[in-house]
Amino acid sequence: MSLLVYGTVALDNVKTPSGSRRDLLGGSAAHFAMSARLFTKVHLTAVIGRDFPKRHIRFLRAKGIDLASLEQGPGKTFRWDGEYKQNDMNTALTLATELGVLVGCDPFVAHQHRNIPHVFLANIDPDMQMGLIHMMRRPRLIGLDSMNLWIAHKRESLLKLMKKVDLFVANDGETRALTQEANLIKAAKLLRKYGPELIVVKKGEHGVVFYSDSFMFAFPAYPVEKVIDPTGAGDTFAGGLMGYLCRAGRLNRSALKQAVIYATTLASFNVEGFGLSRTGRLTLSEVNRRMRAFQSYISFR
């Protein structure tokens, strides 16, 4: 079954202790798609500017990602400049953001994509995410990611949106900011009350907590020593999660556990290279190999 992702496709300038890169292909939808493509057909919905390099288009197409809903608008592509410091590779410092073509831009979904049953709203303005939901005919599973910017400035829009989605993915900082609760277990329960039945709280190097009414579980992160560039790790995680669930066609406990373990494994690859350089050349058999090592790492026997 196929999967539609809506979010940003960006040009990133990134500086980390390992070096710096300019004009990287980035954005929430691009990172998500590069991960989800390993499990299912991905239709990417986003807007790019006139300046968007053709090589990035060719790269996405070569990875099997459908770009029929990728719109080119007047203006410049969304840009993000960020930096990570040695002593806190979990936190991105935003140096500059240029919205460009994103300003005043309504979501666009090609006609033939409006029946897609699995939808992921990757990080972008929650009003635009809501607009996307209204364009879809009968989504069976809707996932949502957001960020501190929207929690702070568009809280009401985000809360409205949360009532419409099934699965909510947030990191620990976002979870605490949204719920005003320091204890993450209590906070996850509060998120559930906001609407989504499935709550995934990502804690970076500390792993993940999953919460639903019927069960909870938690896993540590895959032990990565070589963190080159964490940009997009959260989107890569979400891509693995939704991609696997879409392929599995089930939402029971065991499918959700497998999905979270795939998501964690994929995120561990993402941080090992700048931008999409590592996930772009991943194969599912490589992922499965690391996943077996990870399962042995977290098994209690």
| Residue ranges binding a copy of itself (CB under 8 A) | 86-89, 182-186, 203, 205-207, 209, 216-221, 223-225, 227, 254, 257-258, 261, 295, 297-301
**CB closer to a copy of itself out of 43 and 176:** 176
**CB closer to a copy of itself out of 109 and 221:** 221
**CB closer to a copy of itself out of 65 and 170:** 170
Nearest distance from C-beta of residue 87 to a copy of itself, angstroms: 5
**CB closer to a copy of itself out of 127 and 205:** 205
Residues contacting residue 1 through CB under 8 Å, at least 6 positions apart:
40, 117, 118, 246, 247, 249
Instruction: Round to whole Å and give the CA distance between 58 and 274.
Output: 19
Nearest distance from C-beta of residue 292 to a copy of itself, angstroms: 11
Nearest distance from C-beta of residue 241 to a copy of itself, angstroms: 14
Q: What is the DSSP string of 40-99?
A: S-EEEEEEE-TT--HHHHHHHHHTT-B-TTEEE-SSPPPEEEEEEETTEEEEEEEEEEE-
Nearest distance from C-beta of residue 290 to a copy of itself, angstroms: 14
Nearest distance from C-beta of residue 217 to a copy of itself, angstroms: 5
**CB closer to a copy of itself out of 61 and 250:** 250
56-60 contacts, C-beta under 8 A, 24 or more apart: 56/9, 56/25, 59/25, 59/276, 59/280, 60/25, 60/30, 60/33
